[in-house]
Amino acid sequence: MPSYKAPVDDFKFILNDFLKVLDHSDLPGFDALDSELIDQILEGGAKFFEEVWAPLNLPGDEQGCTLENGIVHTPDGFKDAFHQAAEGGWNALSVPEAFGGAGLPGILSSCISEMGNSANQSLAMYGGLTGAAMMSLMYLGTDFQKKVIVPKLVSGEWTGTMNLTEPHCGTDLKLMNTKAVPQEDGTYRISGTKIFISGGDHDMTDNIIHMVIAKIPNSEGKLENNLGTVNFFMVPKFLVNEDGTPGARNGVTVGSIEKKMGIKGNATCVLNYDNAVAFKVPEDKPEAANEQSGEKKSSASGMAGMFLMMNGARMGVGMQGYALAEVACQNATIYANDRLQGRSLSGPKNPDGPADPIIVYPDVRRMLMMARSFAEGARALHMWLSFTGATAVKLETQEEKTAVGEITNLLTPVIKGYLTDMGFTSTNAAMQCFGGHGFIREHGMEQFVRDSRINQIYEGANGVQALDLVGRKLFANGMVGTNAYYGLIDKEIADAKDQNGLKGMSESLATGLSHLRAATSWVAENALQDREQAGAASYDFMTMFGTVSLGFMWLKMMAVAQSQLDAGAGNAEFLKRKIAHGNFWAQKMLPDTASLLEKIKTGGDVLMELEASSF
């Protein structure tokens, strides 16, 4: 059975030393923070997720979910653990007080969410998607939805889901067949089949709020192959009475639950909608309701709710990538210190024992340091971006504020794509440290790998993220975001120039950034005439962008750590460990940018020349 220990020291380092969140008490939410509260929250969360959620992870995988007589049963203990989290308020730390939350900064929720995902990704997903549904209703819902439904999601009395995929379409939403027919009373009736719905049904709560996209038919009642007709709806499992109690059963039922590679504790459902009562989000404006149904389709905000939910979900999936790398790396580290096998290449390190622990081997250390430097670098990136967004209101010029928004857009596909790729790679390396024991269920390592694998797929497969990065984000709005982001890295390198101990990393990062700029120019020059070239470069580009971004974070963290060491402040062992992992990233990860650039420059012709039938 694997163990989990929340990385409280690292969260404190990031919050207090790296981001210095306590310096921002002029911002709402941050004003309530002090060092003690941060400690209390982190330590309380750690205790809860370590002791209550983590022990259910392996048995939840073994038992899985079952469907009997139309009812989905979650693994033993999940329901109780879910409600304990809700009662502890762990899912509502950063929800505004008006909706029943604690109103603390989102950056604190990031720490708690990560703990949940490390401890038990399958269980965390029920709440994670609830959060996404909640957010879309909080921003775009009616008064009733905000006052009555959102608080039920905040309190954990109900959960939420996200319904996009259909059997024949995922990425290409304009192909969808789910139909939303407008009714006289302003509601809609939805019919169709949605698949791969995480937490799509379960036995944990009284009601489930499905957020669904569907097409509004044209005036002849037909569906068009047109993204403009796709809209966003709320479909409760049980209709909600005015007093907030669940009412009549709505027309949404579970067709089946999927047998899948991992996240088996989460019920992935096929949901059949049959004339289910649906509420458009945002609701039609009164004047629009008087128009012909076919004309509602061009509502520009038709998918706004979906994008809100989707971007939040993408950030959340990126976090799942490093959350699993963290817990897998922890277990591999324990095993590597424990497992005796052979002798160190430089002479016995455990001369009184029959053999040395395998952590004496450079290649075992390589795997552990890759996983750890990734997990800590990724955590820093995720939290830095969230914090940068939260503090942008204090920036002086509108230009600066815009740049932060654009950087967020730019980094979202990288966080989803690169962090889940490296999350899988790291989790897999941690499993490799166990040798044959990694392949056996009881150690839990192979489960981390199977669970981690979904993160590269859902909420837009990573190839789609790469294309989003290169095709949409990189050159958006005159490259405001891209240039601003590269400029931040330049500045960090320049600032590090004279600081003790940062030379290796800053040089390595400068080289990486020069490769990234060269790749950016190459794509700019070649993709204009031939869009296939952008597609061909996209994946290598995303990998390079992610590698440089984590280098950027490591340089920032090393600068903080080195300053503290120079000043004799902080925990020297912790700080030296930070610096060692930063140097690992500099020496063993950043050099990848050279080859990635070379590959990008060979272009896409080799990919496109064969006929599809020749593959």
> So which residues are the catalytic ones?
459
DSSP for 296-315, please give it. Answer: GGG-TTTTHHHHHHHHHHHH
**Closest CB to a copy of itself among residues 391, 428:** 428
Say if CB 161 and CB 200 are below 8 A apart: yes
* CA distances, 513 to each of 18, 102, 583 (Å): 22, 40, 16
Q: Which of 456, 526, 543, 564 binds a copy of itself (CB under 8 A)?
A: 456
**Closest CB to a copy of itself among residues 389, 591:** 591
Q: Which of 4, 18, 196, 387 binds a copy of itself (CB under 8 A)?
A: 196
Distance separating alpha carbons of residues 135 and 123, to the nearest angstrom:
19
Distance separating alpha carbons of residues 41 and 31, to the nearest angstrom:
16
Two structure tokens written together for 531: 């869009």
Closest distance to a copy of itself from the beta carbon of 164 (Å):
10
The yes or no reply on residue 3 touching a copy of itself (CB under 8 A) is: no
Q: Which of 53, 78, 539, 552 binds a copy of itself (CB under 8 A)?
A: 539
The yes or no reply on residue 260 touching a copy of itself (CB under 8 A) is: yes
Q: Which of 30, 82, 99, 361 binds a copy of itself (CB under 8 A)?
A: 361
The yes or no reply on residue 259 touching a copy of itself (CB under 8 A) is: yes
Q: Which of 40, 183, 225, 241 binds a copy of itself (CB under 8 A)?
A: 225
DSSP H/E element including 252: strand 252-257
* CA distances, 230 to each of 283, 297, 566 (Å): 14, 7, 58
The yes or no reply on residue 614 touching a copy of itself (CB under 8 A) is: yes
Task: Kindly indicate which of the ranges 46-54, 121-129, 165-173, 473-481 contains the residues binding a copy of itself, using the contact rule CB under 8 A.
Answer: 165-173
Q: Which 8-state DSSP code applies to residue 357?
A: B
Say if CB 24 and CB 30 are below 8 A apart: yes
**Closest CB to a copy of itself among residues 129, 368:** 368
How many residues touch a copy of itself under the rule CB under 8 A: the total is 96
558: how many CB neighbours lie within 10 A of its CB? 26
The yes or no reply on residue 261 touching a copy of itself (CB under 8 A) is: yes
Closest distance to a copy of itself from the beta carbon of 10 (Å):
14
Say if CB 545 and CB 486 are below 8 A apart: no
Distance separating alpha carbons of residues 335 and 348, to the nearest angstrom:
18
Q: Which of 222, 349, 394, 497 binds a copy of itself (CB under 8 A)?
A: 349
Say if CB 90 and CB 45 are below 8 A apart: yes
Q: Which of 337, 477, 483, 514 binds a copy of itself (CB under 8 A)?
A: 337
Say if CB 574 and CB 556 are below 8 A apart: no
Q: Which of 28, 435, 483, 497 binds a copy of itself (CB under 8 A)?
A: 435
Site residues for a copy of itself, window 83-142 (CB under 8 A)? none
Two structure tokens written together for 151: 């608080």
Site residues for a copy of itself, window 566-605 (CB under 8 A)? 573, 576-577, 580, 583-584, 587-588, 591-596, 598-599, 602-604
**Closest CB to a copy of itself among residues 246, 357:** 357
* CA distances, 287 to each of 216, 232, 295 (Å): 17, 19, 12
The yes or no reply on residue 466 touching a copy of itself (CB under 8 A) is: yes
